[in-house]
Amino acid sequence: MFVSQAMTGLQETGQSGLTTGKIDYVNSTDGCGFITTEATDRDVLFLRNAAMEFAPDVGQEVTFEMVWTNEGPRARALWRA
């Protein structure tokens, strides 16, 4: 299901780009979690629908498109590294 920015209330507030990181946490109930990366000192949130054809697992290296929102960094899409 596609969720628009208008529905979530999130607004992209800065540049986006591809970067790499490691899955730090995954909520097994809803599939969301956090990525650590050297690109920022903040954890990067990802939602279940951001994972492209795989189920992220803790410790897994990923490449992802990071965007800055009014709530902090978020992974818009992520892939196995």
Is position 36 within any domain?
yes
Q: For 38, what's the count of Cα atoms within 13 Å in the CB-facing half-sphere?
A: 2
Number of domains in the chain: 1
Range(s) of the domain holding residue 74: 14-80
Is position 4 within any domain?
no
Q: Do 50 and 62 meet the contact criterion of CB atoms below 8 Å apart?
A: no
For the whole model, what pTM was predicted?
A: 0.81
- List residues bridging with 80 in a β-sheet: 62
* pLDDT value for 17: 81
How many Å apart are CA 35 and CA 61, to the nearest integer? 9
Is position 3 within any domain?
no
Distance of CA 69 to the CA centre of its chain: 11
Is position 9 within any domain?
no
Mention every residue, 6+ apart, whose C-beta is less than 8 A from residue 75. Answer: 35, 44, 45, 46, 50, 64, 65, 66, 67
Q: What is the mean pLDDT of the chain?
A: 85
pLDDT in tens, 14-49: 566 899 999 999 999 999 999 999 999 999 999 999
